[in-house]
Structure 1
Amino acid sequence: MRTISYIISLLLLGVAFFLLSEYPNSGRMGLIAGGITTIGFMLNLTSYLSLNSKKEFDK
């Protein structure tokens, strides 16, 4: 599950980058890309921290 959430977070960050590069002058797409970036970054951070906490418990 953690690996899937990590992959999804990378896909969300890729989509946000694509939206910003495809529509650089659109305020609406910038807002949508900003929201997607926030969600992707938080998902990436939670999957990373949950992966590290599991490694810490396995020691």
Structure 2
Amino acid sequence: MKNIFFILGLVLILASILLLIEFPDSNRMSMIAGATTAIGLTFNVVGFILKPKMQKI
């Protein structure tokens, strides 16, 4: 679960960067990219904070 949140956060941040590169003059895309960046950063923080499960031996 930790890795899923971390990878999903990185994908969302990458998507927001690509939106800004593809549509530099669009205010709507800039707003969507900002929201996507906030969600991506939140997922990265959650993925970093989650503790890995104890492995049973």
Query: TM-score range, shorter-chain basis?
Result: 0.7 to 0.9
More helix by share: 1
Aligned residue pair count? 54
Per-residue deviation at 1:6?
A: 0.5
- Equivalent residues in 2 for 1:1-59, closer than 5 Å: 1-51=1-51, 54=52
Which residue number in structure 1 is paired with residue 55 of structure 2? Answer: none
- Can you give the 5+ residue segments of structure 2 that lack an aligned partner in the other structure? 53-57
Normalised TM-score (structure 1): 0.83
Q: Which structure exhibits the higher relative contact order, with contacts defined as CA atoms closer than 8 Å and separated by 6 or more residues? A: 2
Normalised TM-score (structure 2): 0.86
Give distance in 2, aligned partners of 1:33 and 1:14. 10
Which residue number in structure 2 is paired with residue 57 of structure 1? Answer: none
Q: Which runs of 4+ in 1 moved over 6 A?
A: none
- State percent identity of aligned pairs: 37
Alpha carbon RMSD of aligned pairs, Å? 1.7
Give distance in 2, aligned partners of 1:45 and 1:29. 24
